[in-house]
Chains A and B, each alone.
Chain A
């Protein structure tokens, strides 16, 4: 069973090929190269390196969000189109969970963070080697998240390059319960996406068409529109 994994949900890029439970190759990079320029060449190169032709793939795993809207869409579009045209199943996994998978041995809670701008984050809280969900993937202001985390009163490991943006604040609130992941744990790995995906039941090929990113946030224009609708019904 040969898997291709694609992770472009935030600034870092990762692609991996896993064959029968072994990582054959993996690319992890965090450079200033747009995913549109970088992702497809990375997939092309990695498959060439491991000598796997596109039609020899058995399944595709993609990091489905949340994260940068454009980043998530590039990964999902590549994964969807490959899966559909090759007629292979596509499995989506949470991009937060992929990142958390780097640090499952931590004795406490694991909190991956993506910067969502203006003091906001995409985040979740997981626990243990099975990555049990303590707080589901969601979008929040950092202050809202920290209030929830403080109430958990447990050691928490923060994972991701974006953690640095909020670190002072995190330590300010959680004090000795705040732990920072090591640098090699901060970049998401497509092999982890494959590992998580292979634990799932394979969806049907027909499901590929209806695969959508998990933005975890309604588009701003839509939110404003819904608010207006509500106000209008109130006025009436």
Chain B
């Protein structure tokens, strides 16, 4: 079970859950034929974060251009496609609706099926575009809205064994960046500063109850805020590199330790990292090191497949399509959609 045989399956995928308008064409769930992303980051920067209404407005402006570009780069026509896949949730509802309605109109006009994909399943399946997934598998999903450990015993089977109880890792990165006065999005900047730092400010590690695979980053975030506040009161300069290094060390240590413990307990054949924060150099290096020592293959997708893109949605949609799953024209945006297995 869990295996699927494919013969030249070609899927057009669309993603618009947050601030990237994206379309991609994926062959057999593993080959990127084209991958187009129109980022809105420049527009949202002035607000210090993503503004939902602005995001939706940009999606409408970009959507057909991005889909056309994906077809053009792939040198394909709609008749070459087996299905159109689209992010159904979670995400910003107004943003999701643009991708969903474009997908519906495209599917209807070209008489092909439509599939709704979970955004986090997408992040996980970004790995299938790099090397075949081997089950049982453990995925560490670390993004702007999610921090989860997901156990997969086969394709389409997801068990969330741990998740954040408050802030997502990426959210904590962005908030700490704001405290340090860094521009949005702060994650990559903190990563860079952490590497430049020699000293590290000591911040706590939050482990929660013994044996728990859950995470909590709001305490760490508050510790950084308090530290800055105390230093300000004493009119002392803080060292942004030392704060970044200390913060990153705390995040990386907890993420690495829990991932390792889960990988052992569940006896997995492969560990993968996914989501925007998986782009983090400190986290990658740490996970690579422990899993090399442990002898469990560890993979993380290249940077542009870690952040939001449509290629990952196409990768997740392919085994769904093979399993006979189809959406319909009543599909709605599901901002709080849960990650559910599509196999028993």
Contact = CB atoms under 8 A, between A and B. Distances in A.
Most buried by B among A43, A55, A77: A77
Contacts of A209: 64-65, 68
Q: Is the interface of B mostly helix, strand, loop or mixed?
A: helix
A70 B56 contact: yes
A40 interface: yes
Contacts of B46: 225
Given A209-B64, A222-B54, A73 B332 contact: no
A98 B17 CA distance: 31
A210 B64 CA distance: 9
A80 B63 CA distance: 9
A81 interface: yes
A43 B64 contact: no
Interface in B26-50: 46-47
A30 interface: no
Interface string A71-98: 0011011111110111000000000000
B122 interface: no
B104 A40 contact: yes
A1 interface: no
B103 to A, nearest CB: 8
Contacts of B97: 36, 70, 73-74, 77
Interface stretch (A11-19, A160-168, A212-220): A212-220
B231 interface: no
Contact of A73 (B54, B94, B106, B331): B94
A54 interface: yes
A51 interface: no
Contacts of B109: 54-55, 81-82, 85-86
A80 B110 CA distance: 14
A221 B51 contact: yes
B56 A37 contact: no
B332 A37 contact: yes
Contact of A41 (B60, B102, B330): B330
B105 A77 contact: yes
B342 interface: no
A69 B101 contact: no
Interface string B46-80: 11000101101100110111011000000000100
Interface in A6-45: 34, 36-41, 43-44
B108 interface: yes
A101 interface: no
Tier of interface size on chain B:
20 to 34
Contacts of B54: 219, 221-222
A208 interface: yes
A71 to B, nearest CB: 10
A37 B104 CA distance: 11
A189 B16 CA distance: 30
B329 interface: yes
Nearest to A84: B64
A225 B108 contact: no
A225 B51 CA distance: 12
B333 interface: yes
- Which of A54, A69, A74, A81: most chain B CB closer than 10 A? A81
Contacts of B101: 36, 39-40, 74, 77-78, 81
A69 B330 contact: no
B105 A81 contact: yes
Contacts of A37: 330-332
Most buried by A among B94, B98, B333: B98
A85 B78 contact: yes
Kindly name the residue among B57, B61, B104 whose own CB sees the greatest number of chain A CB atoms within 10 A. Answer: B104
Contacts of A219: 51, 53-54, 57
B100 interface: yes
List 3 tightest A-B contacts by C-beta distance, closest first. Answer: A81-B105, A221-B51, A40-B329
Given A74-B101, A84-B67, A221-B53, 15 more contacts: A36-B97, A36-B333, A38-B330, A69-B53, A77-B60, A78-B101, A78-B105, A80-B63, A81-B63, A82-B105, A84-B68, A212-B57, A213-B60, A221-B51, A225-B46
